[in-house]
A and B are shown apart, each in its own frame.
Chain A
Amino acid sequence: MEKKTSKRVFAIGLTLLILALAAAVPVYAPVYTVILITSILMYMIIAVSWTIFSGPTGYISLASAAFFGAGIYTAAILGSAVPLPLVILLGALVSSCLALLVGGLTLRLKGIYFVMFTFGLVELLLHFILWWEVTMCGTTGRVVPPAGNATVFYAMLTILVVLILTVFLIRRSRYGMALQSVGENEEAAAHAGVHVTALKVVIYSVSALFMGAAGAAMATRWTYIDPRIAFNPLISFVPVLMAIFGGIRPIYGPIIGAAIFTYLEEFLITRFPYYYMLIFGIIMVVAILYMPDGLVGLTRRVWKRMSRSRHAHT
């Protein structure tokens, strides 16, 4: 018991230290690093919020790009009419309303049908908004008023901190337990008195809330957006791979996965622009083949084996 408490104190201390270091980044680091860390934070937010819902339930949602894009378009339409925090808040709200609607309609679909529906949603929104912009507005893109690199950085960091706190609150509450039981056996959970559908829909919209917020914040850094940028299907797939690469169970799994993958992506794009997708694809396939529990699971297995062999020697 005592060991557990000291471990917890250590974890909290480490988290605070990392946060303090991160918060100081725009002060001492060059602009390039600030921008890179901003996109790492963005992917962390999407990967962690994807895991909130899809981790415990096992429903693979590929609608992340739709929720992210909803946030982006909210920011683009609001423009400079309202201050940035309100833009982010509204982006989050629009996105979670979309998730409520989609979740209410589709969360009775099982397995692969749900995957298809959520992916179809991204393409539907992309092509509909593309058509709308061309026919109604005569242009495809929109200009978003820029907010400055440091501002966007702090916005992302704040969203991530709120998200992590939310994840802890959900996991500690009975809703987290209920969600876990839904993932293990929906019918048993329903018999035990869990409102399965309502729970799934609410948690789904909570996860979309943060994706929308990240989208709204990111739009102010990208400054020019069009439907193909906002509803890029990669935003649906890559965070899933990041979460799996890092490990879905512990909260730091997707965070580590997002950090490594985003850095890797940046590194490959700048060093090997012509082979970037090839190398990235190979890493994806290898990760799925050989690391079913992610990096965290792999490290644990290696650790276990090492400590076992140490015991064997003594």
Chain B
Amino acid sequence: MGSCMIVTILDIVISGLLLGGIYAVTAVGLSLQYGVARVLNIAHGEFIMLGAFITFTLYTRLGIDPLISFAICGPVVFAVGFVLYRTLFTRLRNTSPTAGAFEGNSMLACFGLLFIIQNLAILIWGADIKGYSYLAFSVDFWGARFAVNRLVTLGFAVAICLVFYFFLANTRLGKAIRAAAQDPETAGLMGVRINQVLALCFGFGALMAGLGGALISISYKIQPTMGLEYTMIALIVIVLGGLGSIPGSFVGGLVLGLVGSIVTHVEPGLSLVAYYVIFMLLLLIRPTGILGK
């Protein structure tokens, strides 16, 4: 009885961490786009969906291993994000009278993008639910069985976040991004090419979304309309971790994944409701997030 309970708990924790790892990767991306580039990207989930479908197509059509296709789908979504910022959002930033107006306008423009990307995806891939099987066997851990693809997903999610964190902390470009996050005007005066850096940030945000999508496609079913739910979850995670904080988004993602896993164990229909309740309580009580100042 005792060991059975431990196995159940272990099961909940592992699947929570798996979900959490995916949430963390996508939320780090949104955090970069909102925290630095100031675009509340409602279409974030569409980039996730793009990453998932590119990985799916490469694997089922060309037989390219999903873990290798990271190297293809990452740069593709990065380029889409970068170009969008250089054209659409840079223009909006120049024409909006205030920072607040830019936030509102760019959010609505993102809603238009959501429509465009989703429609294109339906035209290319059709509206059906899709999936593939990859590393679909399981291993034993202290009596509990775990699917290998899920463990690999979790491992890669953590690795992606770590690599990105070290990139921000230790490189010149990372420093420029952090400077732009704190104060774009001053960073510009200090010689940071601000438009370039903001566009890169938006691109990196899209990149993280794309990689998150690739990870999702390994363990879950995908469809062109899946984006909005992941956008909302990423939004909840960045509020949970504090807007603009990368470590906060990482921790927030894991926490939300664990909560989701526990709630799903008790009452499967309520996991999304639980997310929203946490989200709204947090906005009311502590809008700066759990790690925020």
Chain A interface residues (CB < 8 Å from chain B): 58, 60, 105-106, 109, 111-113, 115-117, 119-121, 123-124, 127-128, 130-131, 134-135, 233, 237, 240-241, 244, 274-278, 280-285, 288-289, 292
Q: Does B135 make an interface contact (CB < 8 A)? A: no
Establish whether residues A109 and B109, one from each chain, have CB atoms under 8 Å apart when the complex forms: no
Establish whether residues B109 and A285, one from each chain, have CB atoms under 8 Å apart when the complex forms: yes
Q: How long is the Cα–Cα vector from A128 to B107 in the complex, in angstroms?
A: 26
* A111-B103, A113-B283, A117-B280 known; A127+B273 contact, CB < 8 A: yes
Contacts of A275 in B (CB 8 A): 119, 123
Q: Does B95 make an interface contact (CB < 8 A)? A: yes
Chain B interface residues (CB < 8 Å from chain A): 34, 40, 88, 91-92, 95-96, 100, 103-105, 107-109, 111-116, 118-120, 122-123, 228, 232, 235-236, 239, 269-270, 272-273, 276-277, 279-280, 283-284, 287
Establish whether residues A289 and B91, one from each chain, have CB atoms under 8 Å apart when the complex forms: yes
14 contacts between A and B (CB under 8 A): A106-B283, A112-B34, A112-B103, A117-B280, A117-B284, A123-B272, A131-B270, A240-B108, A277-B122, A280-B115, A281-B115, A285-B88, A289-B109, A292-B105
Establish whether residues B108 and A241, one from each chain, have CB atoms under 8 Å apart when the complex forms: yes
Q: Which 5 pairs from chain A and chain B are nearest by CB?
A: A281-B115, A284-B112, A281-B116, A277-B119, A124-B276
CB nearest neighbor in B for A284: B112
* A120-B279, A131-B270, A285-B88 known; A109+B119 contact, CB < 8 A: no
CB nearest neighbor in A for B104: A60
Interchain nearest-CB distance for B165 vs A (Å):
24
Q: How long is the Cα–Cα vector from A131 to B119 in the complex, in angstroms?
A: 29
Contacts of B232 in A (CB 8 A): 119-120, 123
Contacts of B272 in A (CB 8 A): 123, 127
Establish whether residues B104 and A281, one from each chain, have CB atoms under 8 Å apart when the complex forms: no
Contacts of A130 in B (CB 8 A): 269
Contacts of A244 in B (CB 8 A): 108
Contacts of A115 in B (CB 8 A): 40, 104, 107
Q: Which among A112, A117, A119 has the highest number of chain B CB atoms within 10 Å?
A: A112
- Quick one: which of B100, B115, B280 contacts A284, CB cutoff 8 A? B115
CB nearest neighbor in B for A237: B111
Establish whether residues A120 and B100, one from each chain, have CB atoms under 8 Å apart when the complex forms: no
* A117-B280, A131-B269, A275-B119 known; A285+B239 contact, CB < 8 A: no
Q: How long is the Cα–Cα vector from A246 to B105 in the complex, in angstroms?
A: 15
* A106-B284, A241-B108, A289-B92 known; A277+B100 contact, CB < 8 A: no
Contacts of B113 in A (CB 8 A): 281, 285
Q: How long is the Cα–Cα vector from A12 to B22 in the complex, in angstroms?
A: 58
Establish whether residues B114 and A281, one from each chain, have CB atoms under 8 Å apart when the complex forms: yes
Q: How long is the Cα–Cα vector from A281 to B273 in the complex, in angstroms?
A: 29
Establish whether residues A285 and B116, one from each chain, have CB atoms under 8 Å apart when the complex forms: yes
Contacts of A124 in B (CB 8 A): 273, 276-277, 280
Q: How long is the Cα–Cα vector from A288 to B118 in the complex, in angstroms?
A: 19
Q: How long is the Cα–Cα vector from A104 to B142 in the complex, in angstroms?
A: 51
Q: How long is the Cα–Cα vector from A60 to B119 in the complex, in angstroms?
A: 26
Contacts of B111 in A (CB 8 A): 237, 241, 284
Q: How long is the Cα–Cα vector from A280 to B95 in the complex, in angstroms?
A: 22
Contacts of B118 in A (CB 8 A): 277
Interchain nearest-CB distance for B198 vs A (Å):
17
Contacts of A131 in B (CB 8 A): 269-270, 273
Interchain nearest-CB distance for B213 vs A (Å):
20
- Quick one: which of B40, B115, B123, B269 contacts A274, CB cutoff 8 A? B123
Contacts of B103 in A (CB 8 A): 111-112
* A274-B123, A281-B116, A288-B105 known; A128+B287 contact, CB < 8 A: no
Q: How long is the Cα–Cα vector from A275 to B287 in the complex, in angstroms?
A: 40
Establish whether residues A127 and B91, one from each chain, have CB atoms under 8 Å apart when the complex forms: no
Contacts of B239 in A (CB 8 A): 113, 116
Contacts of A116 in B (CB 8 A): 235, 239, 279, 283
CB nearest neighbor in B for A108: B284
Q: How long is the Cα–Cα vector from A63 to B228 in the complex, in angstroms?
A: 16
* A124-B276, A282-B112, A284-B108 known; A112+B120 contact, CB < 8 A: no
Establish whether residues B95 and A292, one from each chain, have CB atoms under 8 Å apart when the complex forms: yes
Establish whether residues B284 and A105, one from each chain, have CB atoms under 8 Å apart when the complex forms: yes
Interchain nearest-CB distance for A2 vs B (Å):
36
Establish whether residues B116 and A277, one from each chain, have CB atoms under 8 Å apart when the complex forms: yes
* A109-B283, A111-B103 known; A281+B270 contact, CB < 8 A: no
CB nearest neighbor in B for A285: B112
Q: How long is the Cα–Cα vector from A247 to B277 in the complex, in angstroms?
A: 35
Interchain nearest-CB distance for B163 vs A (Å):
29
CB nearest neighbor in A for B99: A111
Establish whether residues B100 and A128, one from each chain, have CB atoms under 8 Å apart when the complex forms: no
Contacts of A292 in B (CB 8 A): 95-96, 105
CB nearest neighbor in A for B97: A292
Beyond A274-B123, A275-B123, 17 additional contacts (C-beta under 8 Å) are A60-B104, A60-B107, A106-B283, A109-B284, A115-B107, A116-B239, A124-B280, A131-B270, A237-B111, A274-B119, A275-B119, A277-B119, A278-B115, A278-B123, A280-B112, A281-B116, A289-B95
Q: How long is the Cα–Cα vector from A244 to B91 in the complex, in angstroms?
A: 18
Interchain nearest-CB distance for B282 vs A (Å):
10
Contacts of A58 in B (CB 8 A): 100
